[in-house]
Amino acid sequence: MQHILINGITSEHLSVMDRGLHYGDGLFETIVSVDGKLQFWNEHIERMRLGAKQLGIDFSTTDNFSHDVQSMLEKFSINNCVIKLILTRGQGERGYRISSAQKVTRIVLLSNLPVYPDEYLKQGIKACFCLHPVSSNSRLAGIKHLNRLDNVLARNEWQDEYQEGLMLDESGDIIEGTMSNVFVVKNNQLHTPSLSLSGVNGVIRNQVLSIAQEQGIAVHISKIKKEELKNMDEVFVCNSVIGIWPVNSINEINYKIGPVTKKISQLLQQRIHAQ
């Protein structure tokens, strides 16, 4: 199942002059709808707004995104799906220069919720270290822009033997998963990589940080070297679609699903159901 709106019109066709196609000049968000409830909608919209401000893209279309999504959910009687919002700078002339008269392109895609094995939650997933590094750029760090070539190349380093890959920067610091944010636990304290130079500041990442603060769990946001993961007690990854997946192994390193991971995962589910 897939339904698409482009600027509020049902279509699968985009102008070949769209800057999102030429330069990755835009942003996107991935939102889950369960039983008709949009999970963390406001947080996703706020991140897109901040990203648009950082890129200098007009974001006066917030209400239009909301109207598009609601109309599609009602029209097709869909309660459970993945919603992808894409905002590009719109059509432009050849070249990098931005025209002041450009009109943004607004895309909404509704797709089936992916079905993952229950064992991913109960027993954890297998992960690997990716060879392809994350590009560093402090001006783009944190936002979910359309330039995802690093993630594409990293994800295609394996087939089905792993469920996620961890990406490092050129200095050998862990940054994120190909589709997720990364957390590790040592002595019941939570650690997650700094995203000051690269990586996506995920909506679920921020929920995890908020939960940890509420529960009095010490949090450290800093550089994490690849070698340090050998000494960690727990590892988990998260994003808006999967929630939290415990990691039971990264290549030859094995982990147990520990109490901190279980607690945060349970509290995250409570937050989701309470929306």
Q: What is the pLDDT of residue 213?
A: 97
Q: What is the pLDDT of residue 101?
A: 76
All residues at 6 or more sequence positions from 35 whose CB lies less than 8 Å from its CB, including other chains? 79, 80
pLDDT in tens, 245-274: 999 999 999 999 999 999 999 999 999 988
Q: 93 with 118: CB under 8 angstroms? A: no
Q: Where in the chain is the domain with CATH 3.20.10.10?
A: 119-274
Q: What is the pLDDT of residue 100?
A: 77
Best CATH choice for the domain 119-274 from the list 3.20.10.10, 3.40.50.720, 3.90.1140.10, 2.60.120.10: 3.20.10.10
Pairing of the two strands 174-177 and 164-168? antiparallel
Q: What is the pLDDT of residue 93?
A: 86
Residue in 113, 108, 151, 268 with CA at minimum distance from that of residue 204: 268
Q: How many CB atoms sit inside 10 A of residue 74's CB?
A: 10
CA 234-274-30 angle, to 5 degrees, is: 65
Q: Is the pLDDT of residue 169 over 80?
A: yes
Q: Number of C-alpha atoms within 13 angstroms, CB side, residue 97?
A: 5
Per-residue HEC secondary structure of 7-18 comes to: CCEECCCCCCCE
Q: Is the pLDDT of residue 61 over 80?
A: no
Q: Is the pLDDT of residue 239 over 80?
A: yes
Q: What is the pLDDT of residue 229?
A: 96
Determine the Cα–Cα distance for residues 33 and 26; give it in Å rounded to an integer.
Answer: 23
Mean pLDDT of the chain: 95
3-state SS of the chain: helix, strand, coil percent to 5? 30, 30, 40
Q: How many CB atoms sit inside 10 A of residue 139's CB?
A: 9
Q: 237 with 265: CB under 8 angstroms? A: no
pLDDT in tens, 83-136: 999 999 999 988 998 987 789 999 999 999 999 999 999 999 999 999 999 999
Q: What is the pLDDT of residue 230?
A: 95
Q: Where in the chain is the domain with CATH 3.30.470.10?
A: 2-111
Q: What is the pLDDT of residue 162?
A: 98
Pairing of the two strands 253-254 and 219-222? unpaired
pLDDT in tens, 4-40: 999 999 999 999 999 999 999 999 999 999 998 999 9
Which CATH number applies to 2-111?
3.30.470.10
Determine the Cα–Cα distance for residues 109 and 164; give it in Å rounded to an integer.
Answer: 24
Determine the Cα–Cα distance for residues 141 and 169; give it in Å rounded to an integer.
Answer: 12
Residue 243, strand partner residues: 239
The beta strand positions in the chain, using DSSP E, are: 2-6, 9-10, 26-34, 37-38, 81-88, 105-111, 125-129, 164-168, 174-177, 181-186, 189-193, 219-222, 234-239, 243-250, 253-254
* Strand, helix or coil for residue 230: helix
Banded pLDDT at 204 (limits 50, 70, 90): very high
Banded pLDDT at 1 (limits 50, 70, 90): confident
Q: 79 with 33: CB under 8 angstroms? A: yes
Q: What is the pLDDT of residue 210?
A: 98
Q: What is the pLDDT of residue 139?
A: 94
Percent of the chain residues topping a pLDDT of 90 = 94
Phi, psi of 221 (to 5 degrees): -105, 105
